[in-house]
Amino acid sequence: MRRLTTATFVISTLLSTTAIAAPPTGAWVFDSSPEYPDFTRVKVSDDAGKLSGTITSRWYGDLPMKDLRADGDVLKFKIYNGNPKITPTDITIAADGEAVRMTGKLWYQDFDITAHKGTAAELKALDFPSYPLPPHRVVPQKNLAAKPPMGWNSWNKFATAIDDKTVREIADAMVASGLRDAGYIYVNIDDGWQGKRDQNGVLQPNEKFPDMKALADYVHSKGLKIGIYSSQGPKTCGGFEGSYGHVEQDARIFAAWGMDYLKYDLCSGEAFYHTKETVYATYQQMGEALAATGRDIVFSLCQYGRFDVGSWGRDVGGHLWRTTSDIEDTYARMSWIGFDANGVPNHTGPNGWNDPDMLEVGNGGMSHDEYKTHMSLWALMAAPLLLGNDVRTMTPETIELLTNREVIAIDQDVAGVQGLPVKKNGTTEIWTKKLSDGSTAVGLFNRADTPVTVNGNWAEIGLSDAVKVRDVWAHKDAKASAAYSYTLPAHGAVLLTVSR
């Protein structure tokens, strides 16, 4: 070293820096990966100084590296999985001899994983298939949901801990508790029933559901209908097998089992389909596949209200569409959806319903008054009423909240109008919904955490000719005067019908 001239020293330092600074390019196969998002391989190429690359995931297929740049000998980039609510953070790839090490985070999953140089055969075996979508068509809607669908769904209470025995017991309880006779007809299995595909690609239920056809027959024998769940992505939100590449085949097996309702949830499909056109095409594809089975199957769209779904949900043969991300059993979340977020009202009506998500009544996270607000709001909005609690063990108060015939009648009114707020004053709101018999349903709500008295004149909210007022929770009639005054508990509601 001491013998080097200054010039050779500078040149050799530059050369060695350049050599070290080259970021890794090539194709590698991951040695292991967290189950989510199940990374399989990574490819990076340098085309005359322009870097590009993909990471392949069994959930999301080939994910392009965005904002890819070299930082010394380390690559940095971001990954978008299609979910607009997720702000991606930098992922890094560093060389480790022939191998690479990738560290970072995708959605909620951290990873620090290594990958070895892949052989051509190894890499080829990890190619992620892509399937064509159908050209734009309108799917004729079947008349299966003239009123907002009513029933039960396993997700809110059981998540993926659902099985054949529980579903049968739920069906029994729907009958014994009077819920079926109050109108709750569908027993819907949400995520967590799926097993693997057989050698012909036919999706099998997992070991918790030994015989889907027998289960459907059992539910039908109780005078109920049965529903199931899938996703257009390779994986459902719970990480189970989705319908990606098997749409028609899955529709056929659902029909063969005797399913009457399908909830179709975008889930990992959001990475493949993140434009209005492609998301429409995926729902159209399943809508057409359901129609081709010849069976009457209510089609429930679950893509969290993206791309103004209410304006096209009917055109894919859909009967209801979620308007937001998931409900939770808290007043904050329920009231945000109910008061502030549930879709464009004029999209709702017979055979096409804004779906503010399933009920939480009876799950224990809210007070009785909060659950009364939940039911009152959902009824005024003409929301689908899908119970989310364990109907085998309900308190008398829960049964009363869920089976109040007058509240249900407001929800199920044949005109199918979505109620709207007509007066807001600080934390109080008054909502009205026109009913088909000429009367009006009126909800008075207190969003504050202390009681409040709400008063005013009926005329101010367009009900100058009110002569008969009925409190539908209390089952009490009152003669109307020009003025009204109601004291509402914290987070509470009064629900009325007002007629001439």
Least distance CB 288 / ligand GLA (angstroms): 23
Cα gap 273→283, rounded to integer Å: 11
322 with 303: CB under 8 angstroms?
Answer: yes
Residue 14, class by beta-carbon neighbours within 10 Å (0-12 exposed, 13-18 middle, 19+ buried)? exposed
How many residues touch ligand GLA (CB under 6 A)? 9
Q: Which two tokens stand for residue 232?
A: 């257009």
Query: Which stretch, 101-109, 171-179, 233-241, 419-427, contacts ligand GLA (CB under 6 A)?
Result: 233-241
CB neighbour burial string for 115-131, b if at least 16 within 10 angstroms, e if fewer: beebeeeebeebebeee
Catalytic annotation present for 110: no
Query: Which stretch, 10-18, 144-152, 234-242, 464-472, contacts ligand GLA (CB under 6 A)?
Result: 234-242
Catalytic annotation present for 62: no
Site string for ligand GLA, 98-117 (x = CB under 6 A): --------------------
**CA nearest neighbour of 272 among 263, 291, 285:** 285
The nearer residue to ligand GLA, 337 or 488, going by C-beta atoms, is: 337
Site string for ligand GLA, 303-332 (x = CB under 6 A): -----------------------x------
Site string for ligand GLA, 184-223 (x = CB under 6 A): ------xx--------------------------------
Residue 237 is a binding residue for ligand GLA (CB under 6 A): yes
The nearer residue to ligand GLA, 191 or 260, going by C-beta atoms, is: 191
Residue 281 identity: A
Q: Where are the alpha helices (DSSP H) in 258-404?
A: 269-272, 276-293, 331-335, 368-380, 396-403
287 with 318: CB under 8 angstroms?
Answer: yes
Does the CA dihedral 454-460-462-467 come out positive or negative? positive
Rg of the chain, C-alpha, whole Å: 28
The nearer residue to ligand GLA, 302 or 379, going by C-beta atoms, is: 302
Out of 236, 285, 324, 398, which residue is the one contacting ligand GLA (CB under 6 A)? 236
Out of 100, 298, 302, 463, which residue is the one contacting ligand GLA (CB under 6 A)? 302
DSSP string, 151-211: EEESHHHHTT---HHHHHHHHHHHHHTTTTTTT--EEE--SS-EEEE-TT--EEE-TT-S-
Residue 145 CB: number of other CB atoms within 10 A?
A: 22
Least distance CB 237 / ligand GLA (angstroms): 3
Which residues in 252-281 contact ligand GLA (CB under 6 A)?
A: 265
Q: Say which residue the tokens 């068509």 belong to.
A: 137
The nearer residue to ligand GLA, 299 or 486, going by C-beta atoms, is: 299
The nearer residue to ligand GLA, 56 or 194, going by C-beta atoms, is: 194
Cα gap 331→385, rounded to integer Å: 18
The nearer residue to ligand GLA, 148 or 443, going by C-beta atoms, is: 148
Query: Which stretch, 232-240, 410-418, 462-470, 473-481, contacts ligand GLA (CB under 6 A)?
Result: 232-240
Cα gap 278→414, rounded to integer Å: 33
Residue 177 CB: number of other CB atoms within 10 A?
A: 18
Cis peptide bond upstream of 234, omega within 30: no
For 125, the 3-state DSSP assignment is helix
The nearer residue to ligand GLA, 28 or 229, going by C-beta atoms, is: 229
Which residues in 141-180 contact ligand GLA (CB under 6 A)?
A: 155
**CA nearest neighbour of 266 among 245, 280, 287, 248:** 280
Residue 383 is a binding residue for ligand GLA (CB under 6 A): no
Helix %, strand %, coil % of the chain (to 5) = 30, 30, 40
The nearer residue to ligand GLA, 236 or 446, going by C-beta atoms, is: 236
The nearer residue to ligand GLA, 266 or 382, going by C-beta atoms, is: 266
Residue 13, class by beta-carbon neighbours within 10 Å (0-12 exposed, 13-18 middle, 19+ buried)? exposed
**Which residue is catalytic, options 265, 329, 390, 411?**
265
**Which residue is catalytic, options 38, 326, 369, 471?**
326
Residue 297 is a binding residue for ligand GLA (CB under 6 A): no
65 with 54: CB under 8 angstroms?
Answer: yes
Out of 26, 88, 195, 238, which residue is the one contacting ligand GLA (CB under 6 A)? 238
Can you give the binding site for ligand GLA, defined by CB under 6 A? 155, 190-191, 236-238, 265, 302, 326
Catalytic site positions:
265, 326
